[in-house]
Amino acid sequence: MVELPVIWLFHPMAEMFGMSTWQVPFPSWQIMVPQVALFFVFEDMFHFFAHQALHWGPLYKHIHNILHKYPSPFGARGRVRAPG
């Protein structure tokens, strides 16, 4: 649900910055709603499998274990995304 406003606002914001979005109009809502729902399913599946891949030995040891050092479930709160 966090991405939904960004998806809906992209078209008007692109016009605000001078992009010719009239050449690529939004489809009707009857087409767009199922497409957005399908996108959320695929994006969630990608996140799940990418996270599972990070638990594979070498990736976990050198990259992903840093995220598990913090008690917070959100990496941004543990400053993992931008340490320093």
- Decide if 64 is inside a domain: no
Q: What is the pLDDT of residue 38?
A: 94
**Predicted structure pTM score:** 0.48
Tokens for 32? 């767009």
Q: Per the structure, how many domains does the chain have?
A: 1
- Decide if 31 is inside a domain: yes
Instruction: Write the pLDDT tens digit of every residue in 52-68.
Output: 888 888 888 877 777 77
Q: What is the pLDDT of residue 34?
A: 93
Q: What is the pLDDT of residue 64?
A: 77
Q: Of 34, 11, 13, whose CA–CA distance to 24 is shortest? A: 11
- Decide if 33 is inside a domain: yes
- Decide if 71 is inside a domain: no
Residue numbers of the domain that contains 21: 4-53
| Residues of the chain with confidence (pLDDT) below 70 | 1-2, 21-22, 70-84
- In angstroms, what CA-CA distances link 24 with 2, 33, 57, 58, 78? 24, 17, 44, 43, 40
- Decide if 69 is inside a domain: no
Q: What is the pLDDT of residue 82?
A: 45
Q: In Å, how far from its chain's centre is CA 84?
A: 24
- Decide if 49 is inside a domain: yes
- In angstroms, what CA-CA distances link 19 with 10, 15, 27, 40, 44? 11, 5, 18, 26, 30
- Decide if 13 is inside a domain: yes
